[in-house]
Amino acid sequence: MHRFVALLACWGVVAACAGTDPSAPGARGDGADGSAVSAVAAVYPLSWLAEEVAPEADVTTLNAGGLEAHDVEITPGQRQAVETADVVLFVGDIGYQPQVEQAVGSARGEVVSLAEVAGPGRLLEPAAEAHVEEEPAAEAHHGDGAAHRGEEAVVDPHIWFDAEVMADVAVRTGEAFATADPGNAETYRNNARAVSEELAELGRELDATLGGECRHDEVIVSHQAYGYLLAPLGVAQHGVTGINPQAGASSAELAELVEEIEREGFGHVLTEPQEGREGAETVAREADVELLEISPLDAVTDEQAGAGFIELVRAQAAQFATALGC
């Protein structure tokens, strides 16, 4: 953590760290016309990444203010921002945010796709049903990253929980800003390299936290959004709702979860502030177990954003470690 703070301090004076003259044109991340480099991010983790790589850029988050990210409806102004931004970061053409994906098709700037950087081999399929007991998926998606089965998304979009992929996305983001603003290319690449190393270290921490000796190898969650955090470590998630949080659970399904908790001796149910919470509270109450708070991090409060993505992921991992008995 001390090393991360030191890196942040370096980014705060990034021109000096990169050997750039702060008085030179473009030294603060200005475009060719002298205006600030602009970026649009579809979800908080990508907004955080853009701000770390390009601290002086004008970054817009499409679901700012904690708005639900699934199927987010963007305004005409936001659509125009996507089309005209110097850099656009989105989850990918996977049916997660159809309006965003459509707007990205008309983007004139550099585009960074989280799913494309991850590649087919690292994308996970959502479970067929939230409450069905299944082994964690090791691989899932077939093809080039696009994922539509009619209107049903076939890729788990919460890819930002894969720290290794995010480390690669950091590098790709640095290249995108370098292309958009060549006068500051070295600064962006240096920042990207630093944050990529921090994310790689985070991945090693997560392996140590959740991949060791644990009492359980599965957890009950309100919203099945944590496959990229858990599946690589052999941990299954059983959800009150599936990948799409709009799909609720029936009384019979909730009863099945209660029976599973009692059978397996689980002591906790992990719940998000909104998605699936009512069902999670019902299950926890009926099973007489404790609720633990978690977040999928696609949308965050101002207080959470102040902590930063890496600390927020660490906080999620700590809650899962408690539930798993690690």
* pLDDT, tens only, 34-64: 568 999 999 999 999 999 999 999 999 998 7
pLDDT-derived band of residue 10, with 50, 70 and 90 as boundaries? very low
Average pLDDT of span 98-106: 96
> Residue 106: what pLDDT?
97
Give CA–CA dist 50/59, Å, rounded.
7
> Residue 94: what pLDDT?
94
Domains with residue ranges and CATH for the chain: 212-324 (3.40.50.1980)
pLDDT-derived band of residue 274, with 50, 70 and 90 as boundaries? confident
> Residue 28: what pLDDT?
39
CB-hemisphere CA count at 13 Å for 153? 25
Give CA–CA dist 81/62, Å, rounded.
10
> Residue 241: what pLDDT?
81
Q: Which two tokens stand for residue 238?
A: 């059983």
- Any idea which of 45-49, 66-70, 291-295 has the lowest mean pLDDT? 66-70
Average pLDDT of span 151-174: 91
Q: What is the pLDDT of residues 75-90, one digit of tens each?
A: 999 999 999 999 999 9
Residue 305 has pLDDT above 80, yes or no: yes
Residue 144 has pLDDT above 90, yes or no: no
Residues 6+ apart with CB under 8 A from 316: 161, 226, 229, 294, 295, 297
The DSSP 8-state label assigned to residue 85 in this structure reads -
**Sign of the C-alpha dihedral computed for residues 30, 34, 36 and 38 taken in this order:** negative
- Mean pLDDT for the chain? 84
pLDDT-derived band of residue 154, with 50, 70 and 90 as boundaries? confident
Higher pLDDT, 245 or 19: 245
Give CA–CA dist 57/28, Å, rounded.
8
Question: For the sheet containing 38-41, what is the strand order?
Answer: 58-61, 38-41, 87-90, 110-113
Q: What is the pLDDT of residues 213-244, one digit of tens each?
A: 999 999 999 999 999 999 999 999 999 887 55
pLDDT-derived band of residue 245, with 50, 70 and 90 as boundaries? low
Of all residues in the chain, the percent with pLDDT exceeding 70 is: 78
Residue 133 has pLDDT above 50, yes or no: no
pLDDT-derived band of residue 246, with 50, 70 and 90 as boundaries? low
> Residue 93: what pLDDT?
95
**What type of residue sits at position 239?**
G
Residue 11 has pLDDT above 70, yes or no: no
